[in-house]
Structure 1
Amino acid sequence: MTVTVLKIGGSQTRHDRLMALCAMLGEMGARQPLLVVPGGGDFADAVRRCNERYPLSETAAHWMAILAMDQYGHVLADLIPGSRIVRSLSEVQAVTRAGRVPVLLPHDWMRADDPLPHSWDVTSDSIAAWVAQQAQAHRLILVKDVDGLYETFPPSSDTAFLTHISVDRVNGNGGVDRFLAGLLEKATCATWVVNGRFPERVAQLLETGTARGTRICPNQAGLSRDLS
């Protein structure tokens, strides 16, 4: 599929641009195939607090966190004009063919395939990357509340902003989850981290293939080729 997978981070609910972001996604989804994967946000934070209070197994916390993504998915599906809730790849294909925006509730699909470790090292970043691989997406966009990745995380006022970074430097960067790098080593799609507080940047990336943000490139050896 020539679909673009967008992971919409739960942090987008903590500022006033979520409605504008969702409106833009509805408009863009009528012109090109998109697939929205929700983050966890406040719903996943509730799972973390429960896990801190009680000795939950990693497996229980894993599935609870993915159900939290489903909850946020309902929020996004209600706010994105022309969107439809989907739970499988076949449903994604049907909805994009109709010119609408599929919003994935990942729990059922993930539960059936169980492809990723049961660990807090795996978040919606890695789940979105896995979904992008299954959908043979040509682009993965991680929409967060920062401009992209930095030399250190969290960034300070003098921390260098990275316009691009190789996969072998992503692990431990802090701006994405710890499992993502291993998935992206095998990825064929372009991967970006952009700031959802500026919906116009996401729109520019969808329309032109570039915008202010960080592009995650396959590896250090291929970095210059990928940027040429």
Structure 2
Amino acid sequence: MPLNSAPLIIKLGGSLHASPALADWLTALKGYSGPLTIVSGGGPFADAVRAAQPVMRYDDRTAHAMAVLAMEQYALALASREPAFELVASLDAIRSAHARGRVALWRASAMVANADDIAPGWDVTSDSLAAWLAKKTVARALLLIKSVDVGDGAPLSEIVRKGVVDPAFPDYLDETPLFIAGPSSLPLAAALLAEGVTPGAAISTFPTRKSA
């Protein structure tokens, strides 16, 4: 077990849904030696929500609720592949899964629907929701698994500007240490996670990080 037993939050990008790397990442995640919660992206299910919006003309609040449900669809698909992952929909369920040595796989819709500190809209994607959950669970770190690499020490403002994370992300991150893992992080990910070490590039959140 890691010396720090606080949970690790890992957001698994929806863009990986059709990538051969997905299976390798899932194998690596199962081997993490501490309490772990996975937040899934929306993947093709969220893309369908976005594509249908101009046709069906539903508003952004509705689109956001549908996109969160898309995250659940992706989570259900991942759970069907990995029996080691346990679907959870509350903080108590997350803690219970961790206490039994299980990987918690977040079903986001219930908690997000009941949250008054989440702004509904396309600026708040699964990245921001992962940051929000990291704060709620007092996570030791947040790792975003992406289809692109970023440099170690890259400033948060730069990755926001480049669209690596959504525009609202800095507002939700708070004080949680942030890492981003792309394709170059995968070869060593399993070994690092087994040792309780977070793979990926450490992101500099100063001065965008909020003060305590």
TM-score (norm 1): 0.81
The aligned counterpart of 2:170 is 181
Given candidates 83, 89, 95, the residue that maps to 2:91 is 89
Aligned counterpart in structure 1 of residue 153 of structure 2, from 161, 164, 171? 164
SS of equivalent residue, structure 1 residue 164: coil
* Match among 118, 121, 143 for residue 119 of structure 1: 121
Kindly indicate whether the alpha-carbon contact (under 8 Å) linking 1:62 and 1:118 is maintained by their aligned counterparts in 2.
yes
Q: 1:85 to 1:10 in 2, by over 3 A?
A: same
For residues 80 and 111 of structure 1, do their structure 2 counterparts lie closer, same or farther at Cα, with a shift above 3 Å needed? Answer: same
| 2:11 and 2:40 in contact (8 A); partners too | yes
User: Residue deviations 1:167-203, cap 9 Å, x none?
Assistant: 344432311111012222x22x211111268543433
Aligned to 2:72: 70
Q: Percent identity?
A: 32
1:215 equivalent in structure 2:
202
| 8 Å contact kept, 1:145–1:197 | no
Structure 1 runs (4+) greater than 6 angstroms displaced = none
Distance 2:202 2:56 in 1: 38
Asked if 1:49 corresponds to 2:51, the answer is yes
Higher strand share: 1
Q: Which letter maps to 1:5? A: I
User: CA shift at 1:24, angstroms?
Assistant: 2.1
1: CA distance between counterparts of 2:104 and 2:80? 12
Match of 1:145 in 2: 147
Structure 1: give runs of 5+ residues left out of the alignment.
Answer: 149-161, 223-228
CA 1:210 to 1:82, structure 2 compared with 1: closer, same or farther past 3 Å? closer
1:25: Cα distance to partner? Answer: 1.6
2:29 corresponding residue in structure 1: 25
Q: Is the 8 A contact 1:26 1:81 kept in 2?
A: no
Q: What is the CA RMSD across the aligned residues, in angstroms?
A: 2.2
